[in-house]
Amino acid sequence: MLYVGLDGAVVPADAALHHQVVVQQPLGRGNSVFLSLSPSWDGRRALDGRRALTVSAHTPLGEWWQSNGSDRRAYEALKEEYTRKLLDAAGVVLPGVREAAEPVLAATPVTFQRFPSRERGWVGGFPQTTLTRSRGPRLAPGLWKVGDSIFPGQSVAAVAPGGMRVARAIVDGRTSDVKGWR
């Protein structure tokens, strides 16, 4: 995951705040890269004249832990490789992002275990493998799950639609969102 301070001048006035870029070569566990851009009117998330950009993709946890534990140079090289690939994907939506980005802060599963204490660095929900199938939010009768560990994943921008999805299922009287649950 990258946290980027982006020069607001490279963002088109009509740019959407959330994007999914599908890359040809898989990056991590899939070929989807997710971008979330702070609104131009929200001056709390970035310095004046800048926008906050989060760029993320699902990655296998093991490769990070293996390289971090055995070869710190390999870990740093892997982090640089992912940073480059994520910025390349962001450039599809925001040309010039690389030149307009400062700072660029990379976070890995190692980072997410160390700071917010996420077990093994797990964050961002389960990888979505198709547009029509993901893990559902219904855990048991009357028990629904909403948050960063259920599609569509992390951040208020993702968790809020997940909550709306659950609320809609309850209001519509759908007793099962996951095959086999009754």
- pLDDT, one tens digit per residue, over 128-163 is 555 455 556 677 777 776 666 555 455 555 566 667
pTM above 0.85, yes or no: no
Which residue, 83, 99, 177, is CA-closest to 139?
A: 177
Between helix 61-70 and helix 72-93 the angle, nearest 10°, is 140
Domain locations in the chain as residue ranges = 2-123, 125-182
pLDDT tier for residue 7 given thresholds of 50, 70 and 90:
very high
pLDDT in tens, 70-87: 889 999 999 999 999 999
CA atoms within 13 A on the CB side of 32: 12
- Does residue 150 or residue 107 have the better pLDDT? 107
Residue keyed to tokens 């702070």: 38
DSSP line for 90-106? HHHHSTTHHHHEEEEEE
Beta strand spans in 95-162 (E) = 101-106, 138-140, 143-144
pLDDT in tens, 14-61: 999 989 898 888 777 778 898 999 888 888 888 888 999 999 888 888
Percentage of residues in the chain with pLDDT exceeding 70? 75
The neighbouring-strand residues paired with 55 are: 2, 35
